[in-house]
Amino acid sequence: MYKPHIVILGAGYSGLMTATKLQKLLRRNEADITLVNKHDYHYQTTWLHETAVGSLKPERTMIPIRDIINQDKINFVIDEVTMIDEKNKKVKLLNQELSYDILVVGLGFEAEAITNPNLNENIFPIGNLNNARVLREHLEYNFAKYANEEEKNAARINIVIAGGGFTGIEYAGELADRIPELGSEYDVERTQVRIIIVECESTILPGCKQEFVNYAMNSLESRGVEFIMDAKIVESKQDRVVYEKEGKRVEIPAKTIVWTAGVRGNSLLEKSSIPTVNGKVEVKSDLRVPGYDDVYILGDCALITNPETGRPYPANAETAIASAGIAARNIKAQINKKALLHFRSRKKAIIASLGSSDGVAISLNGRQHFGWRATIMKKLSLNRYLLQLGGIHLLMKRGRFNFFHM
């Protein structure tokens, strides 16, 4: 009996969730499933800002993929994707080549700055676990060097954050909590350290309610975070960053430039013949690529239009997880020649942590929550994902239950 080969690229939120859904939906004789990932672990990007400042150990965010998947149903391949040949229905990896009948692409994002030669040598993105580790080590190294310098170089303890969206705000909040500990360890006064957010818009957290924005700014400013609005970072060098505001170029001495601004889909898609916009693919409502009914694009690589607003759904973990559920059901329907579902994302809570015991949130009923209540909502959201992914066993093993940590 012929069995279609389903190949899933990437074990991020969308790829791994698609795999776990398919192993429940499909019987062994219905399809062969191969999951390809560069590492043998899955990590939660919503925790990376904590790892990047050193308040959460890297291994705390890592989930071994073999602990999640049913290896009787899924062939797990640890390898790196080098090319997608959608015309011949093949995927080239570093060490082998795979043919597919149905392809799911969930390869994640890349920092927009990598395309700008004036930026890419000296910035620190937080796009993956290794990025977070490097940033943490870089930060601690510069604090140690500063403490031992006879002639102090302020650039070592000036941290510039490019972008005032959710990632930038969450990193700034976690960093503001962490700086006193670093200062104590390396004998650096908190007042000597600068944390500066440079945002190209006139507000942080664009699209959020003003009360939401005001609370976040007040919380961060009370802990020493500075804001430079309506400004664009145009250049980074070894010991300074240059931003442009109202036609003027301004330099800030800084050896740490954290990039949380623009992101784009994976560059492998741009090298294929699939049409892209900044590395993203505008998919149909059933999550397939126009003209390629055997290719599903999910997560940060997908541009999914909300039919009610005409605007793309936000490229966040919630959208990725929701799209994985629809993709898995559509793949089963496609195999069985049934009608496919259309993606409709339900209204989600909006949550931003501002450190270990502060945050802002809007619940499903539109109510706003501030401080420790938002922190609890954030941890409950993370726990809910673990429950969806691996059931009660994974939740008990990896969940965050210390809701009242101050």
> Which token pair is 202?
């006139």
User: β-strands 225-228, 194-198: how paired?
Assistant: parallel
DSSP 74: E
Amino acid identity for residue 142 in this structure:
N
Residues sharing a CB contact under 8 Å with residue 196, sequence separation 6 or more, in sequence order: 158, 159, 160, 161, 225, 226, 227, 228, 252, 254
Q: How far apart are CA 10 and CA 108, in angstroms?
A: 7
Edge-to-edge strands of the sheet including 240-245?
232-236, 240-245, 248-253
Contact 301, 280 (CB under 8 A): yes
170 a catalytic residue: yes
> Which token pair is 248?
């003027």
Active-site residue identified among 86, 110, 170, 174: 170
Q: How far apart are CA 56 and CA 183, in angstroms?
A: 18
Ordered alpha helix ranges (H), 35-128: 48-53, 58-61
> Which token pair is 111?
């920092």
Phi then psi for 62, rounded to 5 degrees? -90, 135
Ordered alpha helix ranges (H), 7-68: 13-25, 48-53, 58-61
Q: Which strand (E) or helix (H) includes residue 277?
A: none
Phi then psi for 236, rounded to 5 degrees? -130, 140
DSSP 99: E
Ordered alpha helix ranges (H), 100-151: 129-148
Residues labelled as active-site residues: 170
